[in-house]
Amino acid sequence: MEPVLWLLFSAGGVVSALFLPVLVFLFALAVPLGWIEEPGRDRLLGLLGHPLTALVLLGICVLSLLHWAQRFRYTLFDGLRLKAHERPINVGVYALALLGSAAAAVVLWQAVAARSG
């Protein structure tokens, strides 16, 4: 199991390092502070609701969350010395990652449905 989790952690590290800074810069700084023109709701929804965009964003969200799960798991094990509670921590962090992935899937699905509807 560990090799698979590590591959997902590793992939999550790559995609989050490549894409999240760009997305955060665009939508948390550049657009709200008016550095670039606001794309407008319809244009943004059109982009977000395209199945390919939704799929790519879902991939980024899921892999980033799985990256977080592995990293946070080891922070708890080694940083807070909680390795004695390995099983509940493993279940907890990956359950949270899956929950977050499901939430991302729901939001993206709504965008896809809104665009096509």
Partner 1 sequence: MADTITLEVARYRPDRETEPTVEAFEVPLRRDWAVLDGLNHVKDNLDGSLSYRWSCRMGICGSCGMTVNGEPRLTCATFLVDYAPGPVRVEPLANFPVIRDLVVDIGDFMRKLPEVSPWIVRGEGTSVEEGEYLQTPEQLADYSQFSMCINCMLCYSACPVYGLDPEFVGPAAIALAQRYNLDSRDEGADVRMDLLIHPEGIWGCTFVGECTRACPKGVDPAGAIQRYKLTAALQSLKSFVLPRGPR
Residues of this chain that interact with partner 1 (CB under 8 A) are 2-4, 6-7, 10, 74, 77-78, 81, 83
C-beta closer to partner 1: residue 41 or 81: 81
C-beta closer to partner 1: residue 77 or 94: 77
58: amino acid identity, one letter: L
Least Å distance between CB 70 and partner 1?
9
Structure-token match 């094990």, residue found? 77
Measured distance CA(37)–CA(39) in Å, rounded: 6
Measured distance CA(68)–CA(42) in Å, rounded: 32
Least Å distance between CB 75 and partner 1?
9
What are the contacts of 98-104 at 24+ separation with CB within 8 A?
100/61, 100/65, 101/58, 101/61, 101/62, 101/65, 104/57, 104/58, 104/61, 104/62, 104/65
Least Å distance between CB 7 and partner 1?
5
C-beta closer to partner 1: residue 74 or 94: 74
Least Å distance between CB 81 and partner 1?
7
C-beta closer to partner 1: residue 43 or 83: 83
